Amino acid sequence: MTDSMAGTARAWVVRSCDALEHVLRFAGGAIFLAFMATVVFQVVFRNFFRANAFIWTTELATFLFVWSVFLGSAVAVRHHRHYALEVFPRRWTRAQGLMRWTSLAGVAIGAAVFFEAGIAFLDVAGRRVAIQLGLSQVWFYLAIPVSAAAMLVFVAERLLLAALPADDASAHSPADASKPPPTGAAG
């Protein structure tokens, strides 16, 4: 592969993942705002109007919270904000590199397990209904495989960018996905 083809491939990978991240951030942010509004609505009516007629808000808040957490988790994977252990001193660069790749492999394995288990769980959830909302619980649990798929895309981005030769114009990504994350508590 020539350097210009690699640069084009890098740019396409980064732009595609940037677009996915934008969708996840927008959806996750909107869902989180709806979650907050639902909780405030519930608290205000329960405490100030002594109205318990809005029991459905508990289910809705749970639904929105689950989706916002799982979508945010996918974005966190792209930006290396998942948990990692700092085992070796920073000056041990080879050991640090090995730990970064081990961490990436762990994220990939975890996301693959979430994806497969999430898909399997949808069959069970499809037979259940959230009573207060009247929604199939598939909509609740769909967040698991959707988030896991996005995590896998972001892991693949990092692997592809590490494999493609970098040039100055295409090497940048907001997540700096061309290299493994630094180790530490926040990645």
Q: What is the pTM of this model?
A: 0.80
Buried b (16+ CB within 10 A) or exposed e, 5-22: ebbebbbebbeebeebbe
Q: Which amino acid, residue 51?
A: A
Judge whether residue 186 has pLDDT over 50. no
* Torsion of the alpha carbons at 78, 84, 87 and 90, rounded to the nearest 10: 40
pLDDT digits (tens, 9 = 90+) for 83-97: 666 777 878 888 877
Q: Are 142 and 115 in contact, with CB atoms under 8 Å apart? A: no
Q: What's the pLDDT score for residue 111?
A: 96
Residue with tokens 């960018």: 161
pLDDT digits (tens, 9 = 90+) for 32-88: 999 999 999 988 888 888 767 688 899 999 999 999 999 999 999 998 886 666 777
